[in-house]
Amino acid sequence: MPDIIERLRQELGSKSVLTRDDAALEDYGVDESGLGPYPADCAALCETAEQVDIVLALANDTNTPVTPRGAGSGKVGGALPIRGGIVLSTERMQSIIEINEDDLVAVVQPGVITGDLQTAVEAQGLFYPPDPASLEYCSIGGNAAANAGGPRAFKYGVTREYILGMEVSLMSQERLRFGRRTSKGVTGYDMVAGFVGSEGTFGVSTELTLRLLPKPPAVQTLLAIFPTLADAGTAIGSLLKDGFRPRTMELMDKTAIDTVREMNGSPIPPGTDAAALIEIDGLEEGLDEALMRMGMSIDEAGATDVLVAQNDLERRRLWQARRLVSSSLTAACRHKVSEDICVPRGKMIEMIRRVESLGDEFPFAVACYGHAGDGNLHVNILCDEDPTQPEVERQLEAVTRKLFEHTMALRGTLSGEHGIGLTKRDYMPMEQGPALLAWQRKWKAMWDPKDLLNPGKVLPLVPRTCNE
């Protein structure tokens, strides 16, 4: 490793390479999954695509594992250097290269923070819809690698829908540009679709061309309060049947609501058992009327109260209460297992019932919130015991497996938006059969034949024979 570090210093400059002599390197061995730390040997803080090329070439030539990293906000351990080696960070690649209102595109480096991009495009009357709750600190490169979703995905879709083109540095010492800048295009295979969501295991994105929309002129937000989470789910189902298409429909259960209040304060009234945060957008004219009709529809569907945000400040405070759920739950217990299963929309009420039954069956509190319009539920298992104790570890494994069994029984999927990474890798066979996994291994091997780029992620490990 010393030779590799020396070469990296020569190529990138010594201020762009962290080693085990630097305390700051520790930050590159953890992310928001709560796993680790997994110590890297060094971190290369790249600023240009050429530097990314150099790091990947060096890793390939020296058979050194290399793990791409954006802002490290991932929840499934995707950016953890589980085999040591180099962490390739894109956090310094922060340039918004272009915002073009005629073409409705933005071109950015991967380290641009999602919220910063949104602010920049909105200042020009444009709109970049993907809004992971982590948008204040996650990066576009990480969003593309994880195919991040967010509350607005119900109306606007996930990150994949907004990546038109990519430039990607490969282990083969090539840098490819693919995709397009046009709003339509079907030339050749859809390489963008293959790379988005590949969790940094195929290549490292060095530039992204993003689709923008005109900014919706008006937005209205309401909070509906329900006796139970299942009632909230039922009301949301009936809203859709009534023809409404809100841009967000976020559910929160009592544990989630109360924990935010305890840890950070909350505008949601005390005693609320379940709430839905619903937002509509569109032209100014007619939006108030649409909101009123929606409020009545929610009332009829069993809401005990409907509160409408009167101004931007109230809107922001309601959203803050939603965005703080994950971090508040993390702070409130000793250990949290956080899953983001997704079920077909029609099965959401049944899934909520099954999730609630886990709290009776296992010795853990369960908090549930999520993007109800998409059937994407964030299920959090809250544990106050030491998770490394064998019995606690066994129970945590059992409750997670049970959750996934329920999800599979309802024809859902293991992850709606966080990805598979390390935490869900070994559960993949619950959803995908051996042939499908084998084809995906071939696909990975095509881009990274030596298995050096973010090794050990997404696909379950193949058992080795005793001669290997």
Residues that bind ligand FAD (CB under 6 A): 31-32, 67-75, 78-79, 90, 110, 132-134, 138-139, 141-143, 145-146, 148-150, 199-200, 204-205, 326-327, 417-418, 421, 454
Phi then psi for residue 78, to 5 deg, are -60, -30
Residues 6+ apart with CB under 8 A from 183: 104, 164, 211
Minimum CB separation of residue 149 from ligand FAD in Å reads 4
Minimum CB separation of residue 352 from ligand FAD in Å reads 19
Minimum CB separation of residue 433 from ligand FAD in Å reads 24
Between 75 and 315, CB nearer to ligand FAD = 75
Select from 237, 178, 242 the least CA-distant residue to 205.
Answer: 178
DSSP of 302-353, one letter per residue? Answer: T-SEEEE--SHHHHHHHHHHHHTHHHHHHHHSSEEEEE--B--GGGHHHHHH
CB 217 within 8 A of CB 125: no
Select from 286, 284, 307 the least CA-distant residue to 295.
Answer: 307
Between 144 and 212, CB nearer to ligand FAD = 144
Q: For residue 406, what are the CA distances in angstroms to 253, 346, 357, 392?
A: 19, 15, 11, 21
3-state secondary structure of 406: helix
What angle (nearest 5°) sits at the alpha carbon of residue 425, between those of residues 33 and 74? 25
The tokens 């071939």 sit on which residue? 442
Q: Which residue is nearest to ligand FAD (CB)?
A: 142
What angle (nearest 5°) sits at the alpha carbon of residue 87, between those of residues 83 and 91? 150
Minimum CB separation of residue 360 from ligand FAD in Å reads 27
What angle (nearest 5°) sits at the alpha carbon of residue 285, between those of residues 279 and 290? 45
Minimum CB separation of residue 144 from ligand FAD in Å reads 7
Between 319 and 362, CB nearer to ligand FAD = 319
> What is the distance between the alpha carbons of residues 362 and 427, in angstroms, rounded to a whole number?
20
Question: Cis peptide before 37, with omega less than 30 degrees from 0?
Answer: yes
Between 296 and 446, CB nearer to ligand FAD = 446
DSSP category for residue 450:
T
Between 114 and 220, CB nearer to ligand FAD = 114
Minimum CB separation of residue 437 from ligand FAD in Å reads 18
Minimum CB separation of residue 138 from ligand FAD in Å reads 4
Between 30 and 306, CB nearer to ligand FAD = 30
> What is the distance between the alpha carbons of residues 168 and 178, in angstroms, rounded to a whole number?
8
- Amino acid at position 151, single letter: P
Between 70 and 295, CB nearer to ligand FAD = 70
Minimum CB separation of residue 389 from ligand FAD in Å reads 26
Minimum CB separation of residue 16 from ligand FAD in Å reads 16
Between 295 and 421, CB nearer to ligand FAD = 421
Between 69 and 424, CB nearer to ligand FAD = 69
